Structure 1
Amino acid sequence: MPADLPLEEPARRMRAPAARPGPAPDAPRPAPEPDGAQGRPAPGGARASNTWELSFRLWDAYFAVVWVATLVFVLGTAHPGFHVRLAAGGLLLLLIPWYLLVGRPVLTSGAPDERRALGYIAGAVLLFLPPGVLVGETRLMTFALIPQCFNALRLRRALAATTVINIAPVAGWALLWRPEGQVLFFNTVFAVVTLVFSTAMGSWIIRIMEQSRERAALITELDASRHEIARLSAAHGALAERERFSREIHDTLAQGFTSLLMLVQAVEAELDHDLPQARRHLALMDETARQNLAEARALVTGGTPADLDGATLPDALRRLAARHDASLDVTGPVRPLPAGPEVVILRSCQEALTNARKHAGSSPAVAVALTYTADSLALSVRDDGRGFDPGVPVGGYGLAGLRARAAEVGGTALIRSAPGDGTTVTVRLPVPRSDA
C-alpha cells in the first residue's frame, strides 16, 4: 500500500477479562465502571441506560409487599397487647419515607456512595429493631432489608448488618418478654437458619451482580470494537479501491498519455525530413488516443480492458507489442482462462513495455514471450537496453504495482537487470489446469 495511505490504529483494543478469585470477606467489591455499576448496563451499551432504574420498580413492589404483609401480621397477632402492636406498626411506617427519600436514591445510583449507603442501612436497622423486639412477627421484614444490605454495602459490612438484623431482634425479644424455653428455642433456630440462608443468598447475589456487570462491560466493549472494526473495514475498503484505481490509471491512461507525448516528439522531429514516418506516427497517435478512450470507458464501467474485449490474450498482446515495436512469441497450448490472470498479464506487459520505452535507451530490441503450461501462465518481457541496479531504490509506482497485481492472484513478479545488460520482467501466475 502506498506510504501516504496508512491505516489508522484502532482507538481502543479488545481486552480479555483477566481471571481472578472471588472477593475476600474484607475486600471491597470491585469499583463500579464509570458508565455502569451493580450489574447495571452502561449508557449507550448493549441495553438502555435506564434499564436498572426500570427494573428496580420490581424491588419497589417487593419491598411494598413484604412491608404490607409484615404490618398485617403485626396488627393481626394476638400477642402482645394492641397498644404494643400499634406502636410497632407506627415504627414500621417510618420505614416507608426513609426508603423513598434516602434508600431508593442510594440503591439506584450508578455508583452508590459507601457512606450514604452505610447511613441508610444503619437508619433502616434502627427503625426495624424496636418493632422487631416488641413483636416477633416483625422479623418478616428482614426479607426486604437483607437484599438491600448486599446491594448497597461491601461484603463484610453486609454480613455484619445481616447478622444484626437476624439476631438482635430475637435477643431483644427474648430479654423483653422472656418466652418459654421451647418458643425461645424455635425462634433462635429460625433466626440462625435465616442468617445462614441470608449469608449464602447474599454472597450468591453479589457474585451474580459482579458477573452481570462484567458481561455488560464486555458487551459494551465488544459493541464498540465491532463498530471500530466496521469503520476500519470501510476505510480499508476505500483505500484498497483508491489503490486499485491508482494502479489502473497508471497502467492504462497514464501510459497512453506517455505514449502520445513520445509520439508527438517523434512527429515534431520527423516533419521536416521524413513525412512518411511522421504520418505513421500520427496514425499510431490516433490509435493510441482511441485506445486510451476505450480504456477510460472500461475503467469507469468496470468492464473488460479494451485490448481483451472480444479478443484472446495472445491477440491482445500481439497488438500491444506492435504498438511498441516489440516481438511476441507464444508457446504452449493456448486456451481461454479466467479474466483475472489475463488482465494481470496484459497490464504487466503494458508496464514492462512502457518502462522499456522510457528507460532502456534509444530503440532497444524488445521481445515478449507468453508461455502456457498445464497449471501456470508466464509472461517474459526482455529488452537489451541500458538496464539498472535492482538493489537501488527507485521512485514511481510501476514496479511496485506490477508486483502487487501478481500477488493479488497468487502469482509472482521477478525483475532481473544489471547496468548495461538490459532488463527482463517475468510474471508467473497459477491458472486452472488444462485437464480440469
Structure 2
Amino acid sequence: MLADIPVEEPARRVRGDRARGVHARHRSIRVWDAYFALTWAATLAMLLGAEHPVWPVRAVAAGLLVPLVPWYLLVGRPLLGQNPPDERRAVYYLVGALAPFLLSGVLAGETRLLSFALIPQCFMTLRARGALVTVTVVNLLPVAGWALLWQPATEDLFANALFAVVGLMFSLAIGGWIIRIIEQSAERAELIAELDASRHEVARLSSALGALAEPERLAREIHDTLAQGFTRLLMLVQAVDAELDTDPAQARRHLALMDDTARRNLAEARALVAGGAPTDLAEASLPDALDRPTARHEATLKVTGPVRTLPAGVEVVALRACQEALTNTQKHAGSSDRVGVRLDYADGTLTVSVHDDGRGFDPDAVPSGYGLAGLRARAAEVGGTATVRSGDATTVTVRLPVPGGVASAARSETP
C-alpha cells in the first residue's frame, strides 16, 4: 500500500511553491527597477540643471553615472533576484556601482541624490555589518571629498555636512527596517518549509498507518464472516455424520443448510475481496439482514424507532456487532433459549443490544482475539462505543452515532 503513495504530488507542490516565490521576486524586482530608474533620472536632471559647478564638471559628473544603468541591468538586477544573493558577487557589483557614484559625488553635490537608490541595495545584498560600513562611506565620503576639492563657504559646508549626517541616520533606519523584513521573510520561508515537510510526513505516516491497519481490518472481517461460517459448516458436518444412519431426513436438511452456508461464505469472500458491503446488507435493509443471524441463533428481534437507511459503515458495524454478540452467547455465556436482540433507531444514534439470561462470564477473562476486542474496535471506527455487562445474564450494547437528516422510509417493527 505504501507503494501507492503519489510521490509526484509533493514534488508538484514544491515546484508550485518555487514558481510562486520566483513570481513574487520578479514582481518585487520590477518595483526596484522603476525606483532605480526614477532616482537615476532625477539625479541626472538635477546635475544638468544646476548652476554650480561649471558645465564641463557637471557633464563629467553626469557622464560617470551613465554606465550605472547597464551595470544595474546586467549585474545588479539578477543579483537582487537571488534568494539569498551571492555575497561575493554583491561586493563585485557594489564596487562597480559605488566607484563612479563616489567620483561623481565629489565633483557635484547633486549626485548624492542617487544614494537613495544605492543604499537599499547595500542592505539587500550584504550582511548587516558590511552594509553599515558601506552606507556610512556612501553618505560621508562624497561630502568630505567635495569639501576638500571645492573649499566651499562655511554655510555651504555646514548644510552639506548636516545633510550627510541626516542621510546617514535615515539610511541606518531604512537599513534596519530592510534587515528586519529580510529576516522575517527568511523565518517565514523556514516555517513554510517546515510546515510543508510536516504535511508530507503526516501524509506518509497516515498512509503507513492505513497499510498497517489493513491486515487488522481483514482479520476482523474474516473472523466475523468466513470463520463463523466455516465453524457452522464443521458443526453441520458433525451433525450429518451422526444422522446419516439414524435420521436421513434430518441429515438432508442439514446438508441443505451446509449448501446455503457455503454459498453465503463464498459470497462474503467475494464481497471482502471487492471491498463492498456484506451480502446481507447488499440484498436487504439492516433489520432484514439481522433476521438471518437471529433466526439461526433462535433469538428474538425487536426494532424500535423509525427505520431508515443509514451510512454503510454504521450498518456494517451494527450487523457485525450483532453477529459477534450472538456468537459469544453460545461460546461464553452458556445461554438458555431466551436471547433477545433489540435494534433502536433514535434521532442521533443507532443502538444494538443483545441480551441473554445465561450464566454470564467475565469479559476480562476472555482470551484476547478478534471477538469482543474487534467489536469495540469496529464501534470506535465510526465514533461509537461497545459495552459488555455480564453477571447472572449478559448484555452487549453498541451505540453508534448517525447523521440526523438521512432520508428514511419510516416504519416500526415488533416481533
Same fold (TM over 0.5): yes
Per the alignment, do residues 98 and 354 of structure 1 end up closer, same or farther by CA in structure 2, a change over 3 Å counting?
A: same
Q: How does 1:366-385 map to 2 (within 5 A)?
A: 367-370=338-341, 377-381=352-356
Question: Does residue 1:198 correspond to 2:171, yes or no?
Answer: yes
Unaligned runs of 5+ in 2: 8-13, 403-415
Contact 2:106 2:143 in 1 (8 A): yes
CA displacement 1:205-258 (0-9 Å, x = unmatched): 222222233334434444454455556667767877876565445423442243
How far off is 1:96 after superposition? 4.3
Equivalent residue letter for 1:62 = Y
What is the rounded CA distance, in whole Å, between the counterparts of 1:215 and 1:151 in structure 2? 17
Contact 2:79 2:89 in 1 (8 A): yes
What is the rounded CA distance, in whole Å, between the counterparts of 2:257 and 2:101 in structure 1? 103
Question: Does residue 1:404 correspond to 2:371, yes or no?
Answer: no
Per the alignment, do residues 66 and 207 of structure 1 end up closer, same or farther by CA in structure 2, a change over 3 Å counting?
A: same
How far off is 1:344 after superposition? 4.3
Per the alignment, do residues 116 and 269 of structure 1 end up closer, same or farther by CA in structure 2, a change over 3 Å counting?
A: same
Contact 2:139 2:165 in 1 (8 A): yes
What's 1:272 paired with?
245
What is the rounded CA distance, in whole Å, between the counterparts of 2:17 and 2:320 in structure 1? 49
What's 2:182 paired with?
209
Question: Does residue 1:426 correspond to 2:383, yes or no?
Answer: no
Q: How does 1:280-429 map to 2 (within 5 A)?
A: 280-289=253-262, 291-292=264-265, 306=280, 313=287, 319-323=292-296, 326-328=297-299, 334-337=304-307, 344-354=317-327, 367-370=338-341, 377-381=352-356, 390-391=364-365, 393-394=367-368, 396-407=369-380, 408=382, 410-414=384-388, 424=394, 426-429=396-399
Equivalent residue letter for 1:379 = V
What's 2:409 paired with?
none
How far off is 1:134 after superposition? 1.0
Aligned length, in residue pairs: 383
Equivalent residue letter for 2:258 = M
Match of 2:116 among 143, 148, 151: 143
Question: Does residue 1:174 correspond to 2:144, yes or no?
Answer: no
Contact 2:112 2:142 in 1 (8 A): yes
Contact 1:252 1:295 in 2 (8 A): yes
How far off is 1:198 after superposition? 1.9
What is the rounded CA distance, in whole Å, between the counterparts of 1:253 and 1:214 in structure 2? 57
Which shifted more, 376-385 or 176-185? 376-385
What is the rounded CA distance, in whole Å, between the counterparts of 1:199 and 1:167 in structure 2? 13
What's 2:233 paired with?
260
What's 1:89 paired with?
62
What's 2:17 paired with?
45
Contact 1:251 1:351 in 2 (8 A): yes
What's 1:133 paired with?
106
What's 2:94 paired with?
121
Give the 3-state SS of the residue equivalent to 2:299 in structure 1: strand
Which shifted more, 142-151 or 402-411? 402-411
What's 1:39 paired with?
none
Per the alignment, do residues 373 and 285 of structure 1 end up closer, same or farther by CA in structure 2, a change over 3 Å counting?
A: closer
How far off is 1:281 after superposition? 0.7
CA RMSD after TM alignment: 4.4
Contact 2:299 2:337 in 1 (8 A): no
Per the alignment, do residues 125 and 308 of structure 1 end up closer, same or farther by CA in structure 2, a change over 3 Å counting?
A: closer
Give the 3-state SS of the residue equivalent to 2:17 in structure 1: coil
Unaligned runs of 5+ in 1: 12-41
How far off is 1:57 after superposition? 3.9
Q: How does 1:208-227 map to 2 (within 5 A)?
A: 208-226=181-199
Contact 1:353 1:381 in 2 (8 A): no
Contact 1:167 1:192 in 2 (8 A): yes
How far off is 1:142 after superposition? 0.8
Q: Percent identity?
A: 55
How far off is 1:404 after superposition? 2.0
Give the 3-state SS of the residue equivalent to 1:204 in structure 2: helix
What is the rounded CA distance, in whole Å, between the counterparts of 1:77 and 1:413 in structure 2? 94
Give the 3-state SS of the residue equivalent to 1:74 in structure 2: helix
TM-score, normalising length: structure 1: 0.69
How far off is 1:260 after superposition? 2.5
Which shifted more, 157-166 or 182-191? 182-191
Contact 2:294 2:341 in 1 (8 A): no
Equivalent residue letter for 2:187 = E
Q: Give the number of the structure whose residues are more often helix, by fraction.
A: 2
Equivalent residue letter for 1:404 = A
Give the 3-state SS of the residue equivalent to 1:50 in structure 2: helix
Per the alignment, do residues 129 and 268 of structure 1 end up closer, same or farther by CA in structure 2, a change over 3 Å counting?
A: same
Equivalent residue letter for 1:412 = A
